[in-house]
Structure 1
Amino acid sequence: MGIEGVPPGEGGADRSEGFGERLLGIPLDLAHRLPPQSIAPLVAEQVAKLGGREVTIFLQDYTQELLVPLPGSGLAVTEPEPIDDSPAGTAFLQGRVVEVPRADGVRVYLPLVAGSDQMGVLGCTLDASDDDVRRLLGRLGVVVAGMLASKQSYTDQFFKVRRRQPMSVAAEMQWSLLPPLAMCIPQVEVAGALEPAYDIAGDSFDYALNDSVLHVAVFDAMGHDLHAATMATVAVSVFRHARRAGISLGEKYAFMDQAIADQFGPDHFVTGQMMHLNISTGRLELVNAGHPAPLLIRERRVVRQLEGPTTLPIGFGGRPPRVREFELRRRDRVLCYSDGVIEERDADGQPFGVERLIDCVHRMEQTREGVRGAVRWLSRTLKDERGGRTSDDATVFLIEWCGEGAVVRRPGMSRPVESSDAIPPDAGTR
Structure 2
Amino acid sequence: MTDHRAERQQHSIAAALRHAELTSEELWIRYFAIGGDAGLLEIDAYVHGLGSLPPLQRDILAHAINERLDELTPPRRADYSRPTRETRPRDRSLIALVELLERAELAPPDRLRALVDAAASALDVRISMYLVDYEERHLRPWADDGAPLDVDDTLAGESFRQVRILAAEDAEPPCLWVPLLDGVERLGVLEVEVEDVTDLHDPGLRAQCRWLSMLLGHLVTLLTRYGDAVDLARLPKPRTVTGELIRSMLPPQTAGVDNFVVTGVVEPRHDVSGDAFDYALSETTATLIILDAAGHDLRSGLIAATALAAHRHARRAGQDLHGQVRTIDETIARQFGRGAFATAVLVEVDLATGRLRYLNAGHPVPLILRDGRIVKPLDGGRVPPLGSGITEHAAVGEEVLQPDDWLVLHTDGITEARDGDGEAFGGGPLVEFLRREATAGHPPPETARRLVQAVLTHQGDVPQDDVGVVLACWTAPRTMRT
1:122-271 paired onto structure 2 within 5 Å: 122-128=190-196, 129=199, 130-271=202-343
1:1-400 paired onto structure 2 within 5 Å: 17-18=89-90, 19-53=92-126, 55-71=127-143, 76-102=144-170, 104-128=172-196, 129=199, 130-318=202-390, 319-400=392-473
Deviation of 1:139 after TM superposition, in Å, equals 1.4
- How far, CA to CA, are the matches of 2:361 and 2:78 in structure 1? 64
Distance 1:196 1:102, change over 3 A: same
Structure 1 residue identity aligned to 2:311: F
Deviation of 1:31 after TM superposition, in Å, equals 2.2
| Mapped pair 1:401 → 2:401 | no
Q: Deviations for 1:110-162, whole angstroms, at most 9, x for unmatched residues?
A: 12222332222111211132112112222122222122111111110111111
- How far, CA to CA, are the matches of 2:156 and 2:125 in structure 1? 16
Identity %: 30
Distance 1:267 1:131, change over 3 A: same
Deviation of 1:402 after TM superposition, in Å, equals 1.9
Q: Which moved more, 1:349-358 or 1:169-178?
A: 349-358
What's the Cα RMSD here?
2.1
Structure 2 residue identity aligned to 1:373: E
Structure 2 residue identity aligned to 1:371: P
| Aligned equivalent of 1:412 | none
User: So what's the TM-score if we normalise by structure 2?
Assistant: 0.79
- How far, CA to CA, are the matches of 1:206 and 1:370 in structure 2? 19
Q: Quick check: which one's helix share is greater?
A: 2
Aligned length: 400
Structure 2: stretches of 5+ with no match in the other structure: 1-76
Question: 2:174 aligns to what SS in structure 1?
Answer: strand
- How far, CA to CA, are the matches of 1:313 and 1:296 in structure 2? 22
User: So what's the TM-score if we normalise by structure 1?
Assistant: 0.88
Q: Which moved more, 1:193-202 or 1:237-246?
A: 193-202
Query: Is the CA contact (8 Å cut-off) linking 2:96 and 2:118 kept in structure 1?
Result: no
1:417-428 paired onto structure 2 within 5 Å: none
Structure 1 residue identity aligned to 2:183: G
Distance 1:254 1:17, change over 3 A: same
- How far, CA to CA, are the matches of 2:208 and 2:81 in structure 1? 32
Deviation of 1:407 after TM superposition, in Å, equals 5.6
Deviation of 1:170 after TM superposition, in Å, equals 1.0
Structure 1: stretches of 5+ with no match in the other structure: 410-430
Structure showing greater radius of gyration is 2
Query: Is the CA contact (8 Å cut-off) linking 2:108 and 2:227 kept in structure 1?
Result: no
Structure 2 residue identity aligned to 1:114: D
Query: Is the CA contact (8 Å cut-off) linking 2:168 and 2:176 kept in structure 1?
Result: yes
Q: Which moved more, 1:219-228 or 1:38-47?
A: 38-47
Distance 1:13 1:363, change over 3 A: same
Deviation of 1:5 after TM superposition, in Å, equals 6.0
